[in-house]
Structures are given as C-alpha cells and as structure tokens.
Structure 1
Amino acid sequence: MVEVVVGVDGGATKTEAAVISYSGELMAIGQAGPSNPAALPINEVCGNLTTSILNAITKVGSGVNVAVLSISMAGYIGGAWNSEIRGCLLRGLGDYLRGARIYLTEDIEAAHASAFLTGDGVVGILGTGSNFYGKYMGRRARVGGWGHLIDDEGGAYHIGAMGLSAVVRSYDGRLGETGLVKCALQQYSASTVEELVTRIYTAKDVKGSIASFARCVFEAARNGDREALAILRGETEEVALALATVIRRLNAPELPVALMGGTYTANRDLWKPMIEGELGRLMGRVVSIGEQLIRQSCAASIIPLNAGERFGENYLTRLVETCRVQA
C-alpha cells in the first residue's frame, strides 16, 4: 500500500485535487465542479470534492492510501461546515481515507503557499472576488475577501458591476460616451440598454453574468476608453491599498508581494505595471510583483507542514519541480 498526500484547491469555478508522493512528486490531477461552501449547497460541495479526489486517485491506480488530505476552499470560514465535509468525505472515500489526517482551510492559505511555499510574503487573489493575506515571522494579517455584495474590489464581479454602471449612466446622460455600451450590448446579445438590464437581472447566475463583463472593461481600457480607464485606476488603487495595509499591519515594509487569480493573470500585461506603480507610491519604494510558483492544489499539501506533518526530506524541492505553474 502506497501512502500519498492529497492537496485540493476548491474554487468558485472548479475543484482540483493533486495526488503527491511523500517525496514530493506530483502523481496525478483530478478535477470536478466548484466547491465554494458559501455559495453552493453543502451536498454539491461534497460531491465535487469527492469526485475530484477520486478522479485523481484512480489515475494513480490501486494500492493507494491517503495519509494526509489537505483541502483549501474558497468561501470557507474556519470551523463552519467541518463536520458535514468530513462526514461526506469519509462516506465517499472511506476505502482510501483509513486513518487519514484531514485539514480544511481557506483558499488564501494555499494561494500564499503557491507563491512563497513556507516562507513569508503577501499574496493577493484577484479572481471573481478578491482576497489579500500576509505572513511574517509567525504573524498573519488578512484584508478584504468579505464577499461580492459588500467588498471584493479588484475582483471581476466588482469590475464588471462598475463597468455596467458606467453603461447605464452613459446611456441616461450622467456620463459621456463610452465604448462599454457597445461591448455590453454585444456580450449580452441585447439590442437596447433596457433589454441588457433585463437580461442581467433575470440571469440564472447573476454574479457570474456581471463578473463576465470585466473582460469588456479591460478591453476598453486597452483601447484608451476614458471611463474604462477610470474604473481600472480606481480598482488599482483599492488593490494597492489592500496590499499596503497587509504590509503595514505586519510591520514589514520590505515583504515580497505576489498576485494571482484569473482576472489578474488574464490581464497581467496591462494591470501589473499599474498595481506596481500605485503600491510603490504608497510604500515609498520600488515594488516588483511576483508570480505563483506551483499549482494551488499542490500548494494545499504544504499547509499540514505548519501543523507538524513531516514528508520526505526534499519534499518542497521536488514539489516545485513537478507542480510548477507554466508561464
């Protein structure tokens, strides 16, 4: 029986499980649907967690026993849903989890590990939402990540909502002309702004529908649209403020910074220099934003090391070699 470590990245759009040997070698990847417990019924979350893990394990073959299972989820609040998630995992994966030590954490923990492994630094996730987190000398600080209804500046939902607000404000005369109107009508297959608004409010997935409009905001900004650039500058200021606040709370002005998440990576060419410039202005120094080193599913497997788990001597070195994110 081969003992393995399984790391799971449970996101708002998909769940990814990585089966890793005790020496740190990535053996298999399995995927399934989303597993954000704050946005989905817990039975759906459990089903997708179980499916992703099974998909990965079956690729490895028979004779596998999961010694450590580390799950890092978007929307996870410490302690909430623990018993339900553990229970469903044991029911669905009982044959593989005999004696397994199970760890449940928020996705920002795996994001941090994916950039800094076990080291210090500040990380920001700019995806559908946003979240910022730092570690320094055993201290931790988190900023943002309070959800799309009241927070999440820098995330696709917030950017999309600001963009759609500019569309209707331009249409009724409160703003000048903007290319966002044309892009919105095309994206939502609407012939009028009134039809556009109806499509948004009656969408099956309103959050996703609004978040998808962030693409138009970045596209218009690249084309020099004044309103789109104003939105992006405002989002940039909020992202830089969040990162600077984490650094200030940790009292570590030279901490390295890394950003990740689909919204950021899809627009890195435009957004990275803007954020570096604004954060540098706030910090009074030159800032160079780093990148994600390894997949977040693999990074989730690092979290148990902080709780005293011990794997192979060169676990981290081999993990970086086999789980590296391709540029």
Structure 2
Amino acid sequence: MIEEEGCTLIFLGVDGGATKTVAIIADENGRLYGVGYSGSSSHHFVGYESAKMNVLKAVETALRYAGMSWGDIDGVCYGLSSVGDTPMDTEIVRSFVSEITPIDFILVNDVVNAYYATCLGEPGVVVVAGTGSIAYGRSGIYEVRVGGWGQLIGDEGSAVYIARRALQEATKACDGRGEYTILIDRIPRALGFKSLEEVTFNLMTMKISLIELARLAPVVAEAAVNGDRVAIDILKESGRELALLAIACLRRLRLEHGIVGASGGVFKSGALVWDTFKSIVKASYPHVEFTDPIYGWQPAAGAIVLAAYKHGIRIDRRVLTRLFEAIKVEEAKL
C-alpha cells in the first residue's frame, strides 16, 4: 500500500490506449494507494483477449499493490481507446470490461480521461497528442470530438505524423529536392537500419508499422535542439495542427472563455510545439486559460476525477496536483 487508507471514498481509474494501460487507486483527497501497468488495451491492435488481459493485469496489479479487493472500491471509471468510435467498438470494449469487473463502472474514451485530468469537468477542451491525435471538449451538456481519424489519413500533429513528415523531408533532401537535414542519417540509425532505402523498403513490405514510427518523434525533437531547420519546421507544423484541433473544438462549443489542456508525449518535444500551439490558439481565442501539459500515467487521474464526480464529489486542482505528483513518483520507479 502506498499510503494509509482513510475514511474516504476509494476509486479505481483506468486509462488505456494503443501502447499502454494504467490503473490507479486513489481517494477523493488525492491520496494514491495503488498503481498497475500493462500493455495495449486496444482490441484493434492486439485483439479482444489480449486487450482484456492487459486491462485485467493493470487492475489486479493496482489492487494487489494497494492491498485491496473489489469490495474496497466505491467507484470505477475506465477510459479506453475506441469507446465511442462506433457502436460496435463501444460494445466490444464494454463486453471485455464487463467480464473482468464485478461492480458497476463508467466507460468512456481515453480522451475523456485527459479532459477531466486537465479541465476538471469545467468548460474547455483538451488536445491529446501521443501516437495519434484527437481533441475533446465539453460545455454544460454539450460535448464534441475532433480529429482521431487514424494514422493513414489523419492524426495531424501526432508522433506518427511527425515521423511521417520527417521521412518525407529526409527523402526529399536525399534526392536533392529539399533542404539538407541531419534526419537523413538519424532516422535509419534510430530504427536499426543503415539507410533511408532500407527504412522505406521495410515500410512498404509492412515489416515496420506506422505505429512503430512514433519512436522517431524524439529523434526529430533532438535534431531541432541541434538547430536542424527542417526538424524545427516539422515541430512548429505539429504545434499548428494541434492548435487547429483545439480551435475547432472551441468554435463548435461556442466557447470564448474556458480551459485548454494538453496531454501526450508530443508535448514533451519542447517549446517549439507547446509555444506554437498556445500562440495560435490564443490568436483566435485570447480569453482561454491554458493548463500545463500532462504526460505518461497522469491522464489516469482523470478517471478518478470522473468517478468521484459521479458520486457527487468535485475534485479541485489542489487535490489533482497532489495526485499527479504521487503518480509521477510511482511511474519513475518503473
């Protein structure tokens, strides 16, 4: 058990997507009792059984770490990818969650977790930029989703998008059709190949998936730090695209004031993405308030916020910050 249990309501929150699943157990005061971590909970990427077992592993690890059982849990919220994408997707996820959860639960898309972890249920929007990208916003009874159209035709500003743009510019430079960039050498090295030709061959023969390309985003960020102008432009472009997601949400919700949050590893790419994102949003909506980006396991805190909210408890930013700090400590131990 991480902290001693008090006489308060205890909640289980789960956040799961294409790459990882995180479960946390916390109370209404932001005390963290247990954490669990596992692989992908996306049935599209790993299949029904593996998605279910990864969620179960994360939940059981959190319960064991906390020294608790299901009988100790007062509320549960799962924020999992694909929920709400189509009726069939939602039913598939609800089916495997029902098989492993013996009590009532809330089921939402993982972007909703990010919204509650940044906006705390207040009018506002959140932009999530990890492997893919999507935005979500709420104002009263109204909610909107923008983006999330997948790596082939959408997910602008995401890690896969950055990688795709880096490959495009590197191959142009290799041909002499574009400005020279150190990405010509750094991309193959990062993927374990000797040349861009090897990279493109393995992409075309589907030995590398688009999702695997997401690990190139930090390579682009490093090149930008080293002053590579092509990499700098790509990161600024990512920030612009992510800003357009936020602006579209704000416009559809008719929000002139509100909170704008951000979540996901792309926002770790440095000031080029974050500053570009903020400046473009601010130019169209000067009265919005930004919260600092959240990363890693922190979006799972949004599931705790939503579970508490359904029990009539409003978690404030002070409590949320306490929970964030505790989650960061546990994540660092991994």
**Do Structure 1 and Structure 2 share a fold, with TM-score over 0.5?**
yes
In structure 2, do the counterparts of structure 1 residues 247 and 67 end up closer, same or farther at CA, with 3 Å as the change threshold? same
The range that moved more, 193-202 or 47-56, is 193-202
Q: Partners in 2 of 1:295 and 1:194 — Cα distance?
A: 38
Return the letter of the residue paired with 1:26. L
The range that moved more, 190-199 or 4-13, is 190-199
3-state SS of 2:143 partner: strand
**1:16 maps to what in 2?**
22
**2:168 maps to what in 1?**
165
**2:3 maps to what in 1?**
none
**1:58 maps to what in 2?**
64
In structure 2, do the counterparts of structure 1 residues 124 and 62 end up closer, same or farther at CA, with 3 Å as the change threshold? closer
The question of whether the paired residues in 2 share the 8 Å contact of 1:10 and 1:74 is answered with yes
Q: Partners in 2 of 1:31 and 1:127 — Cα distance?
A: 17
TM-score (norm 2): 0.84
In structure 2, do the counterparts of structure 1 residues 118 and 171 end up closer, same or farther at CA, with 3 Å as the change threshold? same
Aligned partner of 1:269 among 268, 271, 288: 271
In structure 2, do the counterparts of structure 1 residues 316 and 196 end up closer, same or farther at CA, with 3 Å as the change threshold? same
Q: Partners in 1 of 2:123 and 2:191 — Cα distance?
A: 43
The question of whether the paired residues in 1 share the 8 Å contact of 2:125 and 2:250 is answered with yes
**1:47 maps to what in 2?**
53
The question of whether the paired residues in 1 share the 8 Å contact of 2:16 and 2:110 is answered with yes
The range that moved more, 169-178 or 126-135, is 169-178
Aligned partner of 2:282 among 270, 280, 283: 280
Return the letter of the residue paired with 2:77. S
In structure 2, do the counterparts of structure 1 residues 137 and 85 end up closer, same or farther at CA, with 3 Å as the change threshold? closer
Return the letter of the residue paired with 2:75. V
- Between the two proteins, the alignment pairs up a number of residues equal to 316
**1:324 maps to what in 2?**
324
Q: Partners in 2 of 1:155 and 1:56 — Cα distance?
A: 29
Aligned partner of 2:261 among 252, 258, 261: 258
Q: How do 1:139-178 and structure 2 match up within 5 A?
A: 139-178=142-181
* 1:219-278 Cα shifts (integer Å, max 9, x gaps): 2223332322332333222212221111111111222211110111x2233321122222
State the shift of 1:137 in Å.
2.8
State the shift of 1:19 in Å.
1.6
The question of whether the paired residues in 1 share the 8 Å contact of 2:122 and 2:259 is answered with no
3-state SS of 1:213 partner: helix
Aligned partner of 2:242 among 236, 239, 244: 239
Q: Partners in 2 of 1:153 and 1:288 — Cα distance?
A: 23
State the shift of 1:286 in Å.
7.0
Q: Partners in 2 of 1:235 and 1:314 — Cα distance?
A: 34
State the shift of 1:184 in Å.
1.5
Return the letter of the residue paired with 1:206. S
Q: Which runs of 5+ in 1 are unaligned?
A: none
Q: Partners in 2 of 1:251 and 1:286 — Cα distance?
A: 13
In structure 2, do the counterparts of structure 1 residues 171 and 23 end up closer, same or farther at CA, with 3 Å as the change threshold? closer
The range that moved more, 232-241 or 166-175, is 232-241
Q: Partners in 2 of 1:4 and 1:107 — Cα distance?
A: 21
TM-score (norm 1): 0.85
**2:188 maps to what in 1?**
185
Q: How do 1:91-110 and structure 2 match up within 5 A?
A: 91-92=99-100, 97=102, 100-110=103-113
The question of whether the paired residues in 1 share the 8 Å contact of 2:119 and 2:259 is answered with no
Corresponding position: 1:72 with 2:72: no
**2:33 maps to what in 1?**
27
Q: Partners in 1 of 2:237 and 2:317 — Cα distance?
A: 39
**2:332 maps to what in 1?**
none
**CA RMSD after TM alignment:** 2.8
Q: Partners in 1 of 2:244 and 2:89 — Cα distance?
A: 32
State the shift of 1:319 in Å.
4.7
What percent of counterpart residues are identical?
26
Return the letter of the residue paired with 2:21. T
The range that moved more, 165-174 or 205-214, is 205-214
Q: Partners in 1 of 2:159 and 2:69 — Cα distance?
A: 43
